Amino acid sequence: MLAIKNLNVQVLNQEILKNFNLNIQDGEIHALMGPNGVGKSTVCKAIMKSPEYEITNGTITFQDQQINHLNTDEISKLGIYYISQNPTTIEGVSNAEMLRMAMNARREEQLNIFEFNKKCNEICEKINLPKSFLHRAINDGMSGGEKKKNELLHLWMLEPKLILLDELDSGLDIDALKIVSASIMEYYQEKKPSILIITHHNQILEEIKPDWVHILKNGHIIKSGDKSLAHEIEKNGFKDYL
Ligand SMILES: Nc1ncnc2c1ncn2[C@@H]1O[C@H](COP(=O)(O)OP(=O)(O)O)[C@@H](O)[C@H]1O
Ligand SMILES: [Mg+2]
């Protein structure tokens, strides 16, 4: 699904990722862990081709297509969805407007408005989101928890094949985290996407169970293991890896 090879990434001329390698197969869940500021979000932003993140070496391949020369819009259309730590607010553009445009951009024929509305309503019911949210500006004036639920709406509507979850737990209380994680796992069971999840906390990995756990240090993965590695970090912190 995703192959990152020998990736170097610079932000403001500072090298953040160096010789970074990661392979995610179809339907696998990978967790990326590491202390603050080590470059975890940079991995997601490089995949999405965020403009400040300059790829100076290496390749990113998604479903056998090299994507590091594409722009964010093209990458998103291929089926990668990034839920960032702080989802962006877009004033003046409603969820429904954006989703309709995005869904039409992903298909040959224009989506029938009745079909679109039906799907919106079904998804709102499924994720327990008030239908009034469809007509609200994207993430505008929403609480931390509402923003993440709003991202779920986008996820279920756009049906990505690879999901990047960057500190999904930030801004969520324990109950909201359970609801959002459960919805992501329901999506996982139904559509079998691949998932890259970035977190400091083990708790979320009890909900979204990773096949692999990786530790990032000095710009690349220094250790990989199964879920027991996350338990070990919870017990001892990152001190053994600093
Ligand atoms: N847009 C940016 N401008 C300046 N520095 C940045 C930017 N993005 C990331 N950095 C720097 O790159 C390093 C890695 O950041 P990040 O990937 O966000 O870390 P993590 O997600 O692991 O906490 C940090 O030192 C951070 O300050
Ligand atoms: Mg981060």
11: CA distance to ligand 1 center in Å? Answer: 8
Domains of the chain, start order: 2-90+160-241 (3.40.50.300)
200 CA to middle of ligand 1, Å? 16
In order along its 242 residues, the chain shows pLDDT tens digits of 999 999 999 999 999 999 999 999 999 999 999 989 999 999 999 999 999 999 999 999 999 999 999 999 999 999 999 998 888 889 889 999 999 999 999 998 899 999 999 999 999 999 999 999 999 999 898 988 889 999 999 999 999 999 999 999 888 888 889 999 999 999 999 999 999 999 988 889 999 999 999 999 999 999 999 999 999 888 888 877 76
Alpha-carbon distance of 13 to 209, in angstroms, equals 36
Of 7, 9, 11, best ligand 1 pocket probe by most atoms within 8 Å of the beta carbon: 11
39 Cα nearest atom in ligand 1: 17
Predicted TM-score (pTM) of this structure = 0.94
Residues 6+ apart with CB under 8 A from 140: 89, 90, 91
Compute the distance from residue 219 Cα to the ligand 2 centre, in Å. 14
Q: Find, among 204, 224, 202, 205, the residue nearest to 214 by Cα.
A: 224
